[in-house]
Amino acid sequence: MITKTSIMMLHPDRNPSRGQSKPIFITAANGKDYYLKKQFVTDNNGHRIPENCVFLQELLSYQLARALEIPIPNCAIISIDNKFLEYNRNLQFKAALTAGTYFATEAIPNVYNNVLDSKVLGEQLGQPRTKEPLYKVYAKVENPTIFTNVIVLDMLILNFDCFGNEGNFLITKSGNLFSGVAIDFGHSFYGPSWTNEKIEILDLPKAISTPEELRNYLNILCNIFLNSKGLPFSKLGPIFDAMEKQILFTDSNGNFVNPFNDIVTKIENLSRDDIQKMLDFIPNEWYVSMNIQKNKYLDFIMHQKYQVRYLIDYFYQYGAFSNSIGGQLQWKNATQFGTL
């Protein structure tokens, strides 16, 4: 559910300490708590680096996730006016807020934090024995299809940042029930800022008309996003590594199955009108150049949705999935290039 409301109170003592973007914990006028995003990051020298596509990409990606029935928190469009800032000058300065509208995600209850940080998985001496490696926690999630679905969504929106960022996927625990929640899409679509390089990447899928051009595109994507990992794929990041261990390629009878079929079918069934409505819902002030950006994102998604299965095949071929049993994945519906 996407709510439009206003800010009521800042809680600087509850701001998260981790993460580069440093969201702000607030209470909104509807009485709910949110994490308010900002469109800049601060480097080690205290300089602010603008990221002018974060709000747009967060809201577009949340709408896509909702359409694909991928669990995400509720989000909101939060307005902050000059009157609020006038009465909260000290907090305004500390939070670096200005008047305008912001993207925010609702605070998630029951987040499960009994997880070993991936950075110390090899240094477990001194860690509490109750702490668990990430992949073992993911194995407890009630609906494991969320892992295939999140990976495929990330492929659709080029959110490979998620693979290595432990804050982009949360586990909640209610009683004995473990659930997964996807968050934080601000760096999708080749980065958080509107640049010429971003436009070039968004234009690539619509130029694909031959198998050779498709292979070149897949190589470009993997060189850009995974260049430090190399091929064959190995250790793409703690989130991906923990997720892929939950993905099985056989059913209960031992038959070979393609676990990505259902989510890819949903993605390929997204219509141009579906995406246009999502883009039109985004506040105009979140665009740098509204008409150009709407067309670029729309064209990208409408062409990228048909490349996702080939990107999955590419990952599968080069060993990204440890439970692979070899062979080629079988898809429900044929597309232009069949199998690569």
pLDDT digits (tens, 9 = 90+) for 134-144: 899 999 999 89
- Beta 24-28 vs 33-36: how paired, if at all? antiparallel
Q: Does 322 reside within a domain?
A: no
- CATH number, position 211: 1.10.1070
CB–CB of 55/64 below 8 Å? no
The percent of residues in the chain predicted with pLDDT above 90, rounded, is 66
Asked whether residue 123 carries a pLDDT value surpassing 60, the answer given is no
Q: Does 136 reside within a domain?
A: yes
Residues 278 and 208 in one domain: yes
52/38 Cα distance (integer angstroms): 9
Interval 193-213: pLDDT, tens: 999 999 999 999 999 999 999
Residues 201 and 97 in one domain: no
Angle at 116 between CA 110 and CA 122, to 5 degrees: 170
Q: Does 96 reside within a domain?
A: yes
Residues 310 and 169 in one domain: yes
129/176 Cα distance (integer angstroms): 20
Asked whether residue 42 carries a pLDDT value surpassing 80, the answer given is no
pLDDT bin (cut points 50, 70, 90) of residue 15 is confident
Q: Is the dihedral of CA 269, 272, 277, 282 positive or negative?
A: positive
Q: Does 291 reside within a domain?
A: yes
Interval 248-294: pLDDT, tens: 999 989 999 999 999 999 999 999 999 999 999 999 999 999 999 99
Residues 93 and 133 in one domain: no
From the CB of residue 201, how many other CB atoms can be counted at a distance below 10 Å?
19
Strand partners, 198: none
Interval 292-325: pLDDT, tens: 999 999 999 999 999 999 999 999 998 899 999 9
Beta strands in the chain (DSSP E): 2-10, 24-28, 33-36, 40-42, 48-50, 75-80, 100-106, 169-174, 177-182
Q: Does 337 reside within a domain?
A: no
Looking at the structure of the chain, the number of domains it has is 2
Task: Check residue 190 and report its DSSP letter.
Answer: T
Q: Does 269 reside within a domain?
A: yes
Q: Please state, rounded to an integer, the average pLDDT across all residues of the chain.
A: 88
In the numeric block, the tokens 């079988």 are attached to: 330
Residues 13 and 83 in one domain: yes
Helix, strand, coil % (nearest 5) of the chain?
Answer: 40, 15, 45
Predicted local confidence at residue 335, as pLDDT: 73
Residue type, 67: A
Q: Does 204 reside within a domain?
A: yes
Asked whether residue 179 carries a pLDDT value surpassing 70, the answer given is yes
Of 78, 106, 134, at which residue does a domain stop?
Answer: 106
Q: Does 330 reside within a domain?
A: no
Residues 24 and 165 in one domain: no
Of 106, 129, 150, at which residue does a domain stop?
Answer: 106
The string of DSSP codes covering 36-63 is E--SEEE-TTS-EEE-TTHHHHHHHHHH
Residues 82 and 198 in one domain: no
Residue type, 118: S
Angle at 148 between CA 145 and CA 228, to 5 degrees: 150
pLDDT bin (cut points 50, 70, 90) of residue 122 is very low
pLDDT bin (cut points 50, 70, 90) of residue 52 is very high
Phi/psi of residue 53, nearest 5 degrees: -115, 0
Describe the crossing of helices 211-226 and 308-317 by its angle, rounded to 10 degrees. 70
Residues 136 and 93 in one domain: no
Of 74, 106, 138, at which residue does a domain stop?
Answer: 106
Residues 61 and 177 in one domain: no
Asked whether residue 234 carries a pLDDT value surpassing 80, the answer given is no
Residue 284 burial by Cβ neighbours in a 10 Å radius (0-12, 13-18, 19+): exposed
Residues 90 and 232 in one domain: no
Asked whether residue 125 carries a pLDDT value surpassing 50, the answer given is no
Asked whether residue 235 carries a pLDDT value surpassing 80, the answer given is no
Residues 269 and 209 in one domain: yes
Least-confidence region, from 148-157, 210-219, 222-231: 222-231
CB–CB of 229/122 below 8 Å? no
Average pLDDT over every residue of 84-89: 88
Residue 85 burial by Cβ neighbours in a 10 Å radius (0-12, 13-18, 19+): middle
Predicted local confidence at residue 17, as pLDDT: 60
**Higher per-residue pLDDT: 89 or 58:** 58
Enclosing domain of residue 94: 2-106
CB–CB of 179/216 below 8 Å? no
Residues 143 and 56 in one domain: no
162/180 Cα distance (integer angstroms): 14
